[in-house]
């Protein structure tokens, strides 16, 4: 596959829409080729038609985020969101084309080779790549186009975000606000303490029930038929013999050898702050000069001066080093030395190091008999993966082509059709304990149209195709059976209202009195219940998040005064607070904080860029075509 990319003619492969749900630059996959999708358009963007299929694919992906079950009234809103996302994506693609952004064949190849899911034994594997795409029912050309589109979008995004710059004065202002502290006192009015004052009548219960009937429904439910394909079952059924395993072993003998081991010691000078890199380099050079001059031994320096305190106790000894377990620069230095040699200072991932190799144990090949158990396990695994990919593809294809019955698909892959008793959108047994299965079962195509599902890939090497064989719609629960549930719900609502009302009244009295004495006078609490955490920062865990947010939103108190405020809490309680003082924060901008502020500025510039693209564009939308 990688070679095929190099062999292709240079230039644009295809105009693609990369899947975006909310943020236009979230690279989640291709929706559709812009040139395909039929004649009906969902929108026209600067004269370019956006096919309905592209938006429908985006909509499907959004629905999957809700587990296939949309909250009531969300369908229309979600269609608009999907259309808006694809329009934004089209604008981005137009900007990419106009700006001449390109991803070379080499860049595409390198990007694909770095994707972990295509790796085997730590490197890109052609068969793994092909099997993965086959299971996804995708072809290499489509996937390569997606990667190319992703890379060009990253280029455009980087041109905006990575060049963002925050002036020093603004950075210092941000830092001062971030480090600001506030002295706040808080009283929390407990909803539970006021709940006893709420009295509910039968009429109130009936009225709440009538107004919220949708909340008191039985779940719709369904019985399923399904085909379950398991990779482990395929592995167990693989036929093996010594001749086959020996051939396999001979082709891959290096994988089963005992790897070369090198015993090494080191002296480390860490570099935690990039600004102090030069100081670290100067220090390691001085230590190396001592070794060269014989002033002190390697071991003595390791004990006294190495920043790796664990190995320092052992004269710098690190134990056995095997390739692949350490950082690239460190391993490069270790495996370049002969036994007994000491390296000059080396810049590694940890800082600066002087490395000594004390012993080398060459790689030791294993005999077939020694490696047989591992060889058989690996052989079974690879054969099972290939069979799993082939059967998953066949399962999905036949289930799609003959979508009114599972029997043909089951026959094709040599499996039985199984049955599953009642499940709901939120609860199930067996395979339906998996959210993906329930989402597929209650999707429109499967539940309402009576079709077979697509292949549902579970997280444990299992693929499932299912269909609904029986369903029951949601029904209304009578008030008599849910009276207690209604009472508990309404009681909590009314208690919350009462708590908020009392809290607002208390806030007014405290603001007028400018003293906590009004709390005792109100009869709602005693001054001993007031929390006094002292000076707090924005990330302080002593107070509830709602209280913390409000405390830092209050205006600075005037001389001799308190600034009062309040915040309703998620649990129904109500917090009233007094801001006593504000302490200015340290405005010193550290390297990491400056980077974070610049990134935040870059995100804002990206938002402004997208807004500008949309405002300058000529866009016609046809939501009625969806």
* pLDDT score recorded for residue 64: 63
Token reading at 166: 């925050």
Q: Is the pLDDT of residue 22 over 60?
A: no
| 3-state secondary structure at position 538 | coil
pLDDT band for 547, please (50, 70, 90 cuts): very high
Taking only the tens place, the pLDDT of each residue in 548-572 is: 999 999 999 999 899 999 999 999 9
Q: How far apart are CA 187 and CA 529, in angstroms?
A: 7
Q: Is the pLDDT of residue 381 over 70?
A: yes
Percentage of residues in the chain having pLDDT higher than 90: 53
Task: Report residue 118's pLDDT band, with 50, 70 and 90 as the boundaries.
Answer: confident
| Cα 72 off chain centre by | 26
- pLDDT value, residue 599: 65
Range with lowest mean pLDDT among 75-79, 241-245, 279-283, 358-362 = 75-79
> What's the rounded mean pLDDT across residues 501-527?
94
Q: What is the pLDDT of residue 74?
A: 66
DSSP state of 362: -
Please provide the DSSP assignment of 364-396 as one string: BPPPHHHHHHHHHHHHHHHHHHHHHHHHHHHHH
Reported as a single tens digit per residue, the pLDDT across 285-298 is: 999 999 999 999 99
- Residue 251 region by backbone torsions, left for phi larger than 0, else alpha for psi between -120 and 50, else beta: alpha
481-497 average pLDDT score: 95
Please report, for the chain, the start and end positions of each structural domain, with discontinuous segments joined by +. 2-163+615-625, 180-215+480-583, 221-239+372-472, 258-361
Average pLDDT for 322-333: 88
Q: What is the mean pLDDT of residues 423-448?
A: 92
Nearest 5°: phi and psi at 545?
A: -55, -40
Confidence of residue 524 (pLDDT cuts 50, 70, 90): very high
Residue 561: other Cβ atoms inside 10 A: 12
Which structure tokens are listed for 100?
Answer: 């001449």
Domain made up of 2-163+615-625: CATH architecture: Orthogonal Bundle (1.10)
Judged by DSSP in three states, 228 sits in: strand
CA 50 to chain CA mean position, Å: 29
CA–CA separation, 444 vs 459, rounded Å? 23
Whole-number pLDDT of residue 15: 24
Tokens 């043909």, residue located: 408
Question: Considering the chain, what is the average pLDDT of its residues?
Answer: 85
CB neighbour class for 88 (10 Å; exposed up to 12, middle 13-18, buried from 19) = buried
346-347 and 563-568 as β-strands: parallel, antiparallel, unpaired? unpaired
Helix axes 591-616, 140-161, angle to 10 degrees: 110
47-67 per-residue burial string, b: 16 or more CB within 10 A, e: under 16:
eebbbbbbbbbbbebbbeeeb
CATH number of the structural domain 221-239+372-472? 3.10.50
Distance CA 499, CA 199 (A): 14
Do domains 221-239+372-472 and 258-361 share one topology? The answer is yes
246 and 368 Cβ atoms separated by less than 8 Å = yes
Q: Which helix (H) or strand (E) holds 360?
A: strand 351-361
pTM above 0.85, yes or no: no
Q: Distance (Å, rounded) from C-alpha 515 to C-alpha 524?
A: 15
Quick one: what percent of the chain has pLDDT higher than 70? 87
7, 166, 545 from 602: Cα distances, Å = 37, 9, 27
Residue range 258-361 forms a domain whose CATH class is alpha beta
Render pLDDT for 399-408 as a digit per residue (tens, 0 to 9): 999 999 999 9
How sure is the predictor about 21, in pLDDT bands with cuts at 50, 70 and 90? very low
């Amino acid at each position: 596959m990688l070679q095929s990319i190099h062999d292709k003619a240079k230039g644009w492969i295809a105009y693609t829409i990369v899947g975006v749900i909310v943020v236009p630059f979230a690279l989640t996959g291709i929706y559709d080729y812009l040139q395909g999708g039929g004649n009906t358009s969902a929108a026209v963007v600067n004269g370019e038609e956006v096919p309905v299929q592209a938006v429908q694919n985006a909509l499907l992906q959004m629905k999957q985020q809700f587990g296939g079950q949309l909250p009531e009234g969300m369908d229309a809103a979600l269609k608009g969101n999907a259309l808006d996302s694809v329009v934004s994506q089209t604008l981005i693609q137009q900007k990419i084309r106009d700006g001449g952004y390109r991803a070379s064949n080499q860049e595409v190849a390198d990007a694909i080779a770095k994707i972990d899911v295509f790796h085997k034994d730590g490197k890109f594997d052609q068969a793994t790549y092909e099997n993965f795409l086959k299971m996804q029912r995708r072809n290499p050309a489509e996937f390569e186009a997606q990667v190319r589109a992703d890379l060009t979008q990253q280029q455009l995004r980087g041109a905006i975000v990575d060049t963002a710059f925050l002036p020093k004065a603004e950075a210092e202002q941000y830092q001062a606000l971030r480090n600001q502290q506030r002295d706040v006192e808080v009283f929390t009015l407990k909803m539970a303490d006021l709940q006893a004052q709420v009295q509910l009548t039968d009429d109130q219960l009936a009225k709440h029930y009538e107004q919220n009937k949708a909340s008191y429904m039985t779940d719709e439910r369904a019985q399923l038929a399904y085909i379950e394909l398991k990779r482990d079952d395929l592995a167990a059924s693989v036929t093996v013999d010594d001749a086959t395993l020996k051939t396999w072993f001979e082709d891959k003998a290096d994988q089963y050898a005992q790897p070369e081991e090198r015993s090494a010691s080191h002296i480390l000078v860490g570099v935690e702050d990039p600004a102090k890199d030069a100081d670290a380099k100067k220090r390691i050079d001085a230590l190396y000069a001592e070794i060269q001059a014989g002033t002190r031994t390697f071991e003595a320096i390791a004990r006294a001066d190495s920043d790796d305190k664990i190995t320092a106790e052992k004269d710098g000894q690190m134990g056995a080093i095997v390739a692949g377990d350490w950082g690239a620069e460190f391993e490069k230095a270790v495996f370049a030395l002969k036994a007994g040699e000491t390296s000059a200072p080396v810049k590694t991932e940890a800082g600066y190091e002087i490395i000594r190799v004390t012993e080398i144990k060459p790689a030791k090949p294993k005999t077939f008999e020694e490696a047989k158990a591992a060889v058989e396990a690996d052989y079974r695994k690879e054969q099972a993966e290939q069979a799993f990919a082939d059967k998953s593809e066949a399962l999905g294809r036949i289930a799609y082509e003959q979508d009114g019955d599972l029997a043909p698909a089951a026959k094709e892959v040599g499996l039985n059709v199984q049955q599953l008793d009642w499940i709901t959108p939120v609860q199930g047994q067996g395979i339906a304990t998996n959210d993906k299965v329930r989402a597929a079962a209650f999707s429109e195509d499967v539940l309402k149209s009576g079709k077979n599902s697509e292949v549902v890939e579970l997280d444990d090497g299992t693929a499932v195709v299912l269909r609904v064989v029986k369903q029951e719609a949601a029904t209304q629960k009578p008030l008599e059976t849910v009276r207690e549930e209604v009472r508990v719900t309404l009681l909590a609502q009314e208690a919350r209202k009462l708590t908020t009302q009392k809290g607002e009244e208390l806030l007014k009295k405290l603001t007028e009195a400018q003293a906590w004495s009004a709390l005792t006078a109100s009869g709602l609490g005693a001054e001993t219940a007031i929390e006094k955490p002292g000076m707090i920062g924005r990330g302080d865990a002593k107070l509830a998040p709602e209280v913390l947010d409000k405390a830092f939103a209050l205006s600075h108190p005037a001389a001799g005064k308190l600034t009062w405020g309040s915040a309703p809490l998620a649990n129904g309680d109500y917090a009233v607070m007094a801001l006593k003082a504000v302490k200015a924060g340290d405005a010193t901008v550290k390297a990491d904080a400056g980077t974070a502020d610049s990134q935040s500025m870059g995100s804002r510039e990206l938002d402004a860029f997208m807004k500008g693209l949309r405002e300058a564009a000529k866009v016609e939308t046809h939501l009625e075509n969806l």
